[in-house]
Amino acid sequence: MIRCIAIDDEPLALQQMEGYIEKTPFLELQKGFENALEAITWFQEHETDLMFVDINMPGLSGMDFVKSLNNPPKVIFTTAYSEYALEGFRVDAVDYLLKPIGYPDFLKAAEKARERIGPKTIEGSQVESDETHLFIKSEYKILRINLTDIFYIEGMREYVRIHIENQKPVMALMSMKKMEAFLPKQRFMRVHRSFIVNLEKVNTIERNRIIFDKVYIPISDQYKEAFQSFLDKNFLV
């Protein structure tokens, strides 16, 4: 996990940053600060990998705070003022986020930081399973997911999104290959580089696509033969 702190003198903006960090599987929130001076004291006893810092703060600005550190961690600046962008990159900032900040932009910046920091500080999610359910580590929680409730699993670069009946999707830092290995093969099948489906949930197929409500999952040529074999075994003429 990438260890993070957030600094912003606006409580609501700080709360948003903390929420975004906790929502992102490969980030770990260590602490949030409304004052850069408090963060300087905290750095005397702690180490961190990445910090999200508001530039325009009273007392000690975010820019001056970063410049005051002898060996600062990677930094992503946040601010409502676009004129600070150039100065931010002069101190080797990973990225610069202009308020109001949406989660997609936050995630892109966090991905840039992950590439810069490298794999040594990143841990994969853990998963345990049997024939009825799996336990998966997502964010700070270990969640139990019943296999019968899973519709499909979507691969998104180095993490997966598990789409579950009557629940919000669960996102975890894990490869599709690892996830596929833990699922029972008689119930789950990979039909595309980015999709694993629960065969018991497959009700409608149209033009080489599996339809889950309004979601269309393609069946790629690489997996078409295996999926056709499943259909042939269960097809009633």
Render pLDDT for 162-184 as a digit per residue (tens, 0 to 9).
999 988 888 888 888 888 888 88
Predicted confidence at residue 146, as pLDDT, reads 92
| Domain finish residue from 52, 84, 118 | 118
212 pLDDT above the threshold of 80: yes
Confidence of residue 209 (pLDDT cuts 50, 70, 90): very high
Domain boundary at 53, 86, 118, which?
Answer: 118
In which domain, by residue range, is 165 found?
131-234
- pLDDT-based confidence at residue 49 (cuts at 50, 70, 90): very high
Q: Which of 84, 10, 63 is nearest to 51 (CA)?
A: 63
| Domain edge (last residue) among 86, 118, 150 | 118
pLDDT of residue 74: 93
207 and 168 within one domain: yes
**Four-point Cα dihedral 55, 56, 59, 63, nearest 10:** 30
Whether the CB-CB separation of 189 and 217 falls below 8 Å is answered with no
pLDDT of residue 75: 93
What local confidence, expressed as pLDDT, does residue 121 receive? 37
CA dihedral 20, 52, 101, 78 (to 10 degrees): 170
- Answer yes or no: is 123 within a domain: no
Residues 82 and 163 in one domain: no
Closest CA to 107 of 171, 168, 62, 47: 171
- Indicate the helix (H) or strand (E) that contains 182: helix 176-182
Same domain, 7 and 114: yes
Residue 100 C-beta-side C-alpha neighbours within 13 Å: 4
CB 134, CB 184: distance < 8 Å: no
Query: Coil, strand or helix: which one is 144?
Result: strand
Q: 32: pLDDT confidence band, cut at 50, 70 and 90? A: very high
Q: Are residues 93 and 18 in the same domain?
A: yes
How far, CA to CA in Å, does 40 sit from each of 6, 13, 76, 129?
13, 20, 17, 43
State how many domains the chain has: 2
213 in any annotated domain: yes
**Residues 24 and 106 reside in one and the same domain:** yes
Angle at which helix 11-23 crosses helix 103-117, to 10 degrees, equals 60
Q: How far is CA 73 from the centre of its chain?
A: 21
* CB-based burial, 7-20: b 16+ in 10 Å, e otherwise: bbbbeebbebbbeb
Question: Does residue 30 carry a pLDDT above 90?
Answer: yes
Confidence band, pLDDT 50/70/90 cuts, at residue 122: very low
124 vs 149 pLDDT, higher one: 149
In the predicted structure, residue 206 carries a pLDDT above the cut 60:
yes
Residue 178 sits in the same domain as residue 82: no
168 and 81 housed in the same domain: no
Residue 63's pLDDT band, with cuts at 50, 70 and 90, is: confident
* CA dist., res. 165 & res. 145, Å (int): 10
Q: Does 171 reside within a domain? A: yes
pLDDT at residue 5, rounded to an integer: 96
Query: What are the phi and psi torsion angles at 192 (to 5°)?
Result: -160, 160
pLDDT band of 82, cuts 50, 70, 90:
low
